[in-house]
Amino acid sequence: MLENKDQSRTSLSQLGEFGLIEHLTKNFTINQESTLKSIGDDAAVLNFGDKKAVISTDLLVEGVHFDLAYMPLKHLGYKAVVANVSDICAMNATPTQITVSVAVSNRFPLEALEELFEGITLASKIYNVDVIGGDTTSSQKGLIISITAIGEANLEDIVYRNGAKENDLLVVSGDIGAAYMGLQVLEREKQVFQVNPNNQPVLDDYTYLIERQLKPEARNDIKELLEKLEIKPTAMIDISDGLSSEILHLCKQSNVGCNLYEEKIPVDPQLINVCEEFNLDITTVALSGGEDYELLFTIKMEDFDKIKGNPNFTVIGHMVAATEGNHLITRSNTKIELKARGWNALSE
Amino acid sequence: MLENKDQSRTSLSQLGEFGLIEHLTKNFTINQESTLKSIGDDAAVLNFGDKKAVISTDLLVEGVHFDLAYMPLKHLGYKAVVANVSDICAMNATPTQITVSVAVSNRFPLEALEELFEGITLASKIYNVDVIGGDTTSSQKGLIISITAIGEANLEDIVYRNGAKENDLLVVSGDIGAAYMGLQVLEREKQVFQVNPNNQPVLDDYTYLIERQLKPEARNDIKELLEKLEIKPTAMIDISDGLSSEILHLCKQSNVGCNLYEEKIPVDPQLINVCEEFNLDITTVALSGGEDYELLFTIKMEDFDKIKGNPNFTVIGHMVAATEGNHLITRSNTKIELKARGWNALSE
């Protein structure tokens, strides 16, 4: 969605690569003490002292990961940062810096890139991460965004995927499935628009779902919340590909099985209404949707009392021996095998 | 250049994203003590202790940065790592880790990606960097590679672009311009091939140039060489875009001017012969060529005796006051303004 289509455009080639980088990065500020050197040299320099550096990277491709027909560029920039920050949060680390590389085809005017970087700048402020480098170049087709996020943590605070033990409780933050249904709503509106461009969409019943799709937030609050509760998760992962797929990752890497209870999966009331409207099964959407950027983690059973009733967290199951396998216990108390049906960027 | 075109292909979608990543990364080994956690989690964890982390990132796009008609995928993978390692070397730091993200269109079979990762694996071994993460996804068109390199250094060893002072000497490692002429030779062969596919290219006279283009090396030896000579550069940059463009970066960021002596610019004898054959001016090629991945740095004048006659280094000029500007002193002793004519990925 390129706004202001009729304004005069500045072509990227006029600016040149260095001019463009200078132009796009002039709003970035440095907030982290550990950022000793940021954009403007061959590389960035970070001072972690006794802290450990945590690094994660993502490559987002137009037509594969996003559709500019309903994803405004500012939101896209914001979401691209969120997705990476979320990976750092999933290590129980604190996001501190990001690098941002962008390739665009000539169809993008400068103003489009500015919108994108507005979203990136906003997210970097909200999540208090410094943009410490990057690369800007042209592409043969479409927009490509590559972000690397760096975080810091004390070694003893870092949580991996492989620490879950039998009898640990499986916990999820927030609610699940809304981002996927937001996408379904937007896809439908796109098709309506193609048939009748004068149709004004009424999206009041879908605001939460659409916001979860277009402007998701990373759970950088969870680390502190858990510290206050004096809970250290035994394993943790973020939910980018769908709950079932992420649970299976945790189980595989921790060498345990799990029982997930259908009735426990937290969903928003709006999701329930819209699933009914779309004739989709709520549990399927929650298990396979993806892009929720909530955190999924395991805690020791003795920590149950600390987390019980906390509105931020829901206990959705528990870990069992690997030999018992991974199962969903349905509302009708049927035990069915849990399978990964998460989103696959490489499927045809 | 996809080799073995007639073998049966494994489609990427058969493997799925996680299967593909597992498949492609199985040859990576961990060599750095500081790599606490590598591929297989949401993010990588690096232990720098009192060392500082140095991070750099690059995005390479098919048809913009490389042409698979003459760039074999293994070489491309190698070169992509080299380009990033070179950025870390240009900080006078030691490369320690990289992340590698790749997006490919469906026209690429698994075997093509394997070749690419063979080159990446080889370079990671030669430069002793751990591949600690990445992302693999599909693209709408062509191949896209995003690499982030991380290095470590003691704070007092790091060299920035902005430390050059008036009277400092301007020094370059190795020789310049060969990579660009290698590209010209390959472009010509591509055209010959298009006219007559049966023509067997005879490239014996161009081996050095072609190697500089297809398999460049990063100067990770320079840090140690300079330490042994007891020289700490005052400013440093790597030559990826062309000598003139890089000199101007150093001058601008250090707020100095410079005099560059045409007769001092180090070129390989093969470059001289081939420039004659192509009817190109050697100095223009050396100034504007790019992709040499040599290091350009400044040293204090009193260090001249330490570096004089060293086959690894050539003093090519000296820094002057910013008000004096940036000049090339030609062989005929004419002073002409030095202009950036480096490669620009965003030009049309």
The CATH code of the domain that includes B271 is 3.90.650.10
| Contact at CB, A161 and B42, closer than 8 angstroms | yes
CA distances from A57 to A99, A176, B106, B136, B158 (A): 9, 24, 22, 10, 25
What torsion do the CA atoms of B7, B12, B16, B22 make, to the nearest 10 degrees? Answer: 70
**In the listed set B133, B157, B181, which residue is the last one of a domain according to the structure?**
B157
Q: How far apart are CA B117 and CA B100, in angstroms?
A: 10
Instruction: Please write the tens of the pLDDT for every residue from B281-301.
Output: 999 999 999 899 999 999 999
Q: What is the mean pLDDT of residues A243-270?
A: 95
Mutate to test the interface with B, among A9, A41, A110 (most CBs of B within 10 A): A41
> For chain B, how many structural domains are there in total?
2
DSSP at B66: B
Q: CB-CB: which of A91, A133, A139 is closest to B55?
A: A133
Question: Per-residue pLDDT for B105 more than 90?
Answer: no
Share of chain B above pLDDT 70, in %: 88
Instruction: Please write the tens of the pLDDT for every residue from A182-209.
Output: 999 999 988 888 888 877 777 888 999 9
A63 contacts on B by Cβ (under 8 Å): 140
Mutate to test the interface with B, among A39, A42, A250 (most CBs of B within 10 A): A42
Residues B112 and B176 in one domain: no
Annotated binding residues of B: 42, 56-58, 65, 87, 134-135, 161, 238, 240-241, 291, 343
Residues A104 and A200 in one domain: no
The predicted structure's pLDDT at residue A195: 84
Q: How far apart are CA A2 and CA A71, in angstroms?
A: 10
Residue B198 domain boundaries:
169-337
ipTM > 0.90 (yes/no): no
Task: Give the tokens for residue B123.
Answer: 């370079």
Instruction: Please write the tens of the pLDDT for every residue from A85-124.
Output: 999 999 999 999 898 888 988 788 878 888 898 999 899 8
Residues A192 and A303 in one domain: yes
Q: CB-CB: which of A41, A144, A158 is closest to B103?
A: A144
Label residue B25 by pLDDT band (50, 70, 90).
low
DSSP track, A285-332:
HHHH------EEEEE-GGGHHHHTT-TTEEEEEEEEEGGG-EEEE-TT
Neighbours of A312 (CB within 10 A): 15
Whether B338 and B288 have beta carbons less than 8 Å apart is answered as no
Instruction: For A31-66, give one letter per residue: b (16+ CB within 10 A) or e.
Output: ebebbbbbbbbbbbbbbbeebbbbbbbbbbbbebbb
Quick check: is B2 in a domain?
Answer: no
Quick check: is B200 in a domain?
Answer: yes
Residues A189 and A325 in one domain: yes
Question: Per-residue pLDDT for B13 more than 70?
Answer: no
Q: How far apart are CA B100 and CA A77, in angstroms?
A: 21
Residues A229 and A291 in one domain: yes
Measured in angstroms, the CA of A199 and the nearest CA of chain B are apart by 30
| Contact at CB, A103 and B61, closer than 8 angstroms | yes
Mutate to test the interface with B, among A18, A35, A57 (most CBs of B within 10 A): A57
The predicted structure's pLDDT at residue B346: 45
Instruction: Please write the tens of the pLDDT for every residue from A147-174.
Output: 999 988 888 899 999 999 999 999 999 9
Residues A46 and A186 in one domain: no
Q: What type of residue is A1?
A: M
DSSP helix/strand/coil, B188: helix
| Contact at CB, B55 and A132, closer than 8 angstroms | yes
Task: Give the tokens for residue A104.
Answer: 């665009």
Residues A127 and A179 in one domain: no
Quick check: is A271 in a domain?
Answer: yes
**In the listed set B99, B125, B157, which residue is the last one of a domain according to the structure?**
B157
Task: Give the tokens for residue A72.
Answer: 């405004």
Residues A262 and A144 in one domain: no
Mean of pLDDT over chain B: 87
Q: In terms of CA atoms, which chain B residue is nearest residue A238?
A: B42
Residues B86 and B182 in one domain: no
Label residue A236 by pLDDT band (50, 70, 90).
very high
Residues B113 and B234 in one domain: no
**Beta bridge mates, B327:** B259, B337
Closest by CA to B172, choosing from B76, B102, B261, is B261
DSSP helix/strand/coil, B104: strand
Measured in angstroms, the CA of A333 and the nearest CA of chain B are apart by 31
Q: CB-CB: which of B88, B144, B155 is closest to A43?
A: B88
Instruction: Please write the tens of the pLDDT for every residue from B148-194.
Output: 999 888 888 999 999 999 999 999 999 999 999 999 999 898 888 88
DSSP track, A27-65:
T-----TTEEE-SSSSSEEE--TTSEEEEEEEEEEBTTT
Question: Per-residue pLDDT for A7 more than 80?
Answer: no
Q: How far apart are CA B308 and CA B314, in angstroms?
A: 8
The predicted structure's pLDDT at residue B12: 61
Instruction: For B12-44, give one letter per residue: b (16+ CB within 10 A) or e.
Output: beebbbbebbebbbeebeeebebbbbbbbbbbb
DSSP helix/strand/coil, B240: coil
**In the listed set A157, A187, A218, which residue is the last one of a domain according to the structure?**
A157
Residues A200 and A135 in one domain: no
CATH number of the domain that residue B107 is part of: 3.30.1330.10
Residues B130 and B226 in one domain: no
Quick check: is A346 in a domain?
Answer: no
| Contact at CB, A48 and B48, closer than 8 angstroms | yes
Q: In terms of CA atoms, which chain B residue is nearest residue A16?
A: B346
| Contact at CB, A64 and B138, closer than 8 angstroms | yes
DSSP at B62: B
The answer to which of A55-64, A181-190, B106-115, B242-251 has the lowest mean pLDDT is B106-115
